[in-house]
Each structure stands twice: as C-alpha cells, then as structure tokens.
C-alpha cells in the first residue's frame, strides 16, 4: 500500500514519541501518505491506521478534522489562498478573485486539465506578507500580486509540461 520510503519516513516520526504512543505519529503519517498518493483515499487511511495499530475510524477523525488533508482527489497543484481579514485588507480577496478568473474555477474546484485546485485558506500565519498562498501544503508564496500569480501559474504549467505525470512536489 505505502512505499518503503513512506514507511521509513513514518518510522522516523515514530521515534519522536514514546513506544506505547504510536498514534502520536498519525498526523505525520497521514501527511506522508497524502504526499505519496495525492490524497487520502479510504484504503490509504486504513493502511496508516493499521500501521500505527489504531482504529481506522480514529485515523479518519484526524483526516477529516485537519484542513490540510484532502479526502478527495485534488489537482496536481493545490493552491490555498488566504482571504481572512488581515489578508483581505491587503489584497487577499483580490488575489483569490484573480486566481478564480484566470483558472476559470471557484474555490474547491479543479481545472479540467487536472492541474489546479483552488482552496480558500484561513490564516496561514503570514498575514504581513499578504496576499499569501500555499502551494501543495508546502510552499508559501508571499506578496502575490496579480503579476506574481500569473508568473507562478506559468511556472507551474511549465513544470507540468516538463514532467507530465510526475509526483507532487
């Protein structure tokens, strides 16, 4: 189910917690699984639960509670743009509108080519750099003016062309 590499990474997380507290690694394990599979399918969650010796429902509670897990497939590039008040005061909503227009999709939608999914973010903890967006849960993009957004989209499209069905960054 999960690759050896993923299991190795999960094992490393497990070393952080007491031996009888394997469940502590569930958040990291689900994140690792999601990185590998693109999203958390039911079997993936069950496999993680099994690996950590916890009830699948307990793992599902986690996967559905924390925002950054995706329970359904998303595009190759998931863009989470913050529209919370501090960001909104400095263009967060404008940035979101620009993304919607350029990509032709609304929040929680994926472009037909499967490249982009747009999500509305709550505070990313980077309000001073508004507008901000987070790419695939990992890469924080600050000061995203319309030009910067266009540039980012172009870069990601180019990356997709260069490495067609490659794994998520």
Partner 1 sequence: MSAQTILTAGIEPATADATWHLDDYVGRGGYAALKKVLAEKMTPEAVINEVKKSSLRGRGGAGFPSGLKWSFMPKAYAGTKYLCCNSDEGEPGTFKDRDLLRYNPHQVIEGMAIAAYAMGTAVGYNYIHGEVWDLYARFERALDEARAAGLIGQNILGSGFNFELYAHHGYGAYICGEETALLESIEGKKGQPRYKPPFPASYGLYGKPTTINNTETFAAVPWIIMNGGEKYLELGKPNNGGTKLFSVSGHVVRPGVYEVPMGLPFPELLKMCGGMRGGRKLKACIPGGSSAPVLPAEIMMECTMDYDAIAKAGSMLGSGAVIVMDESVCMVRALERLSYFYFEESCGQCTPCREGTGWLYRVVHRIEHGLGRAEDLDLLNGVTDNIMGRTICALGDAASLPVRSFIKHFRSEFEYHIDNKKCLVPPEVQREGSKIHVRPSQC
Partner 2 sequence: MLDIEIDGKALQVAEGSTIIEAAHQLGTYIPHFCYHKKLSIAANCRMCLVQVEKAPKPMPACATPVTNGMKVQTHSGQAVAAQKGGMEFLLINHPLDCPICDQGGECLLQDLAVGYGASASRYQEEKRVVMNKNLGPLVATDMTRCINCTRCVRFTQEIAGLMELGQAFRGEHAEIMSFIGQTVDSELSGNIIDLCPVGALTSKPFRFSARTWELARRKSVSPHDGLGANLIVQVKHDRVMRVLPLDNEAINECWLSDKDRFSYEGLNSPERLTRPMLKHGGQWHEVDWQQALDYVAHAFKDVAKNHGGAALGALLSPHATLEELYLAQKLMRGISGVAANVDFRLRQSDFSQDGKRADGPASAPWLGMKISEIDDLDRVLVVGSFLRKDQPLIAQRLRQAAKRGAQVSLLHAADDDQLIKIHAKAIVPPSQLPRLLAQVLKCAAEAKGVAVDAAIGALTVSAEARAIAASLLSGAGSKAAVFLGNLAQQHPRAATLQALARQLASLTGARVGFLGVAANSVGGYVADALPGPDGLNAAAMLAAPRRAYLLLNAEPELDCADPQQAMAALKQAETVVVLSPFKPAGALDYADVLLPVSPFTETSGSFVNTEGRVQSFNAVVQPLGETRPAWKVLRVLGNLLGLQGFEQDSSEAVRAEIFAGAAPEFVADRLDEGASGAALDLSIDAGPLERVADVPIYAADALVRRAPSLQRARDAAAPSARMNSTQLQKLGIAAGRQVRVKQGAGSAVLVAELDERLPEGVVRIAAAHPSVAGLSAPSGAITVEAL
Binding to partner 1 in span 1-60, by CB under 8 A: 16-18, 21-28, 30-31, 52, 54, 58
Binds 55, which of partner 2, partner 1, ligand FES, none (CB < 5 to 8 A, cut-off by type)?
partner 2
Tokens 């897990």: give the residue: 69
Q: Using CB under 6 A, count the residues that bind ligand FES.
A: 12
The sign of the torsion formed by the CA atoms of 48, 167, 109, 151 equals positive
Judged by beta carbon, residue 41 or residue 93, the one nearer ligand FES is: 93
x/- track of binding to ligand FES for residues 59-98 (CB under 6 A): -----------------------x-x-xx----x------
Q: Are 81 and 133 in contact (CB under 8 A)?
A: yes
C-beta separation of 49 from 59 below 8 A: yes
Cβ–Cβ under 8 Å, residues 29 and 51: yes
27 binds, among ligand FES, partner 1, partner 2, none (CB under 5 to 8 A by kind): partner 1
The tokens of 1 are what? 């189910």
Q: Which phi-psi region, left, alpha or beta, contains residue 3 (left: φ > 0; alpha: ψ -120 to 50)?
A: beta
- The residues that touch partner 2, with contacts defined as CB under 8 A, are 42, 45-46, 55-58, 60-61, 64-65
Residue 166: which residues within 8 A CB-CB, separation 6 or more?
A: none
Count residues binding partner 1 (CB under 8 A).
Answer: 62
Q: Which is nearer to partner 1, 149 or 165 (CB)?
A: 149
Question: Residue 67, Cβ neighbours under 10 Å: how many?
Answer: 11
| Closer CB to partner 1, 23 or 111, in the complex | 23
Residues 6+ apart with CB under 8 A from 11: none
Binding residues vs partner 1 (CB under 8 A): 16-18, 21-28, 30-31, 52, 54, 58, 61-62, 65-69, 80, 83-91, 93-95, 121-131, 134, 137-148, 151-152
């Amino acid at each position: 189910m999960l690759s050896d590499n993923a299991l190795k990474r999960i094992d490393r997380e497990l070393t952080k917690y007491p031996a009888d507290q394997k469940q502590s690694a569930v958040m990291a394990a689900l994140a690792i699984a999601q990185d590998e599979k693109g999203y958390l399918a039911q079997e993936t969650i069950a496999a993680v639960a099994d690996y950590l010796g916890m009830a699948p429902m307990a793992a599902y509670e986690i996967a559905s509670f924390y925002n950054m897990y995706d329970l359904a497939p998303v595009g190759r590039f998931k863009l989470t743009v913050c529209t919370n008040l501090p960001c909104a005061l400095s263009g967060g909503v404008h940035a979101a509108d620009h993304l919607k227009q350029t990509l032709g999709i609304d929040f929680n939608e994926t472009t037909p080519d499967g490249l982009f999914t747009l999500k509305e973010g709550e505070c990313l903890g980077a309000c001073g750099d508004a507008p901000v967006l987070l790419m695939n849960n990992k890469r924080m993009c600050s000061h995203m003016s319309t030009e910067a957004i266009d540039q980012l989209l172009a870069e990601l499209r180019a990356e997709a062309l260069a490495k067609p069905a490659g794994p998520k960054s």
